[in-house]
Amino acid sequence: MSEFLIGEALLGKDNELAHIDLMIGDKSGPVGQAFATALINMSKGHTPLLAVVRPNLMPKPAMVIVPKVTIQSLDDAGKIFGPAQAACAKAVADCVEEGLIPEDKLDEWVIVACVFIHPESKDERKIYKYNYSATRLAIKRALDKYPSLKKLMEEKDRAKHPVSSVKMPRLWRPPYLQIALDNPSLSGALSIIKASPRSDRIIWEAGTPLIKKYGVEAVKELRKEAKDAFIVADLKTLDVGKVEVDMAFDADADAVVASGLAAIDSLDKFLLEADRMGIYGIVDMMNVADPLAVLKALKRPPKVVIIHRGIDMEGMKSEKLNKWQVISEIKAMYKTIKPPVLCAVAGGITPENMDEATKNKVDIIIVGRYITQSQDVERSIRNFINAMPGDADVDLKRIHSDDDDVGEKLS
């Protein structure tokens, strides 16, 4: 079977930033075909060229460079047919010298590299330096088949792209504190978000009363204030689940809630559409006599199950439902599901009694009035976060060397 290796690296900053995408493989395989195709299929503004250390001296394995950005002037051409071309070639030669590329593959392999050069880049030394380092790193990663599955799973939800202002949060490191903005005042909800401490542990919930008053557009307003936060639209859907999931999705919610009292067919459609849209489908078991029976009847598991004691029931001395036992049984039911189904509890949780929840492996603690009616919102939130196991932020104890390639047999 012919070799087909893929590598990528982004290094540098400002307009001289370098981004390399490359393929390494046999001349007789798909990479060889791509290499030959690139050389004979010229396109305006994206003329492929061989990497050369200097004119008349190309490295081995041979590399063809394909510009990612359209070349529109001789000045643009001079950056790619110059510092970038030489830098990429030098990186290949150095990888051979270091023993990264086996000598017996020098005449068998070829490399196809897509190279990014910003039209407004000016500093040729930086263009050379960044493209050399990015090419060398991309080759090393390709040969090492970086990243490993473990690395990808560790990074996919914590990562933020340096050229993108958007991050889609996921619930990957519980426990979390979900703050229910139930008071039907949008200005009040926004003021609570503004007063809150910044923490990866916080989930914001557009509560049912807030949505009933302002519609799902309330989620859009919360998003403006909590740009990268995980936001739940608590619609408590009972019917037409597909329609309400789409409404929440269009409003930029990360999750949407259906009531466990809904018909099984409605819940199945709700969860199917949430999965199709790529947002969390949550089922709230408030007033459901047998949550396990409902879950067993579903065709697919929800992302989150809420064991919920309603506000009107909080004054009752006894509860028919042992929520801790139910949570244990839910986790056992879904023990083979990946990522795991999360369990949340709501109703009467305070910093003083939340220890019982964490001991019973609750993933999300939902709190409303303790925080939203507090005269010191930040302190009230910190009371919960500080009592949670683990650090308040995902990367609080992360060191710079952990950013990339750690544990991947790379220097």
267 three-class SS:
helix
Quick check: 182 and 347 in contact, CB under 8 A?
A: no
Torsion angle, CA of 217/263/286/183, rounded to 10 degrees?
A: 20
Rounded Cα–Cα distance for residues 258 and 286 (Å) = 10
- Give me the phi and psi of 108, to 5 degrees please: -100, -30
Identify the H or E element spanning 37: helix 30-40
- Across 341-403, the runs of DSSP E, i.e. the strands, are 342-346, 364-367
Identify the H or E element spanning 35: helix 30-40
> Dihedral sign, CA of 273, 275, 278, 283?
positive
For the sheet containing 109-115, what is the strand order?
Answer: 4-11, 18-26, 109-115, 62-67, 49-50
Which of 277, 267, 255 minimizes the C-alpha distance to 204? 255
54 three-class SS:
strand
Percent helix, percent strand, percent coil in the chain, to nearest 5: 40, 20, 40
Which of 282, 299, 294 minimizes the C-alpha distance to 364? 282
Selected catalytic residue, list 19, 118, 308, 400: 19
Which amino acid is it at 385?
A: I
Catalytic-residue membership of 19: yes
Rounded Cα–Cα distance for residues 264 and 271 (Å) = 10
Helix residue spans in 208-333 (DSSP H) = 208-214, 217-225, 241-250, 264-277, 291-297, 323-333
Could you count the other beta carbons within 10 Å of the beta carbon of residue 74? 8
Which of 199, 228, 223, 181 minimizes the C-alpha distance to 384? 199
Q: Concatenated DSSP letters for 138-174?
A: HHHHHHHTPSPHHHHHHHTTT---TT-S-------S-
Cis peptide before 302 (omega within 30 of 0): no
- The set of catalytic residues is 19
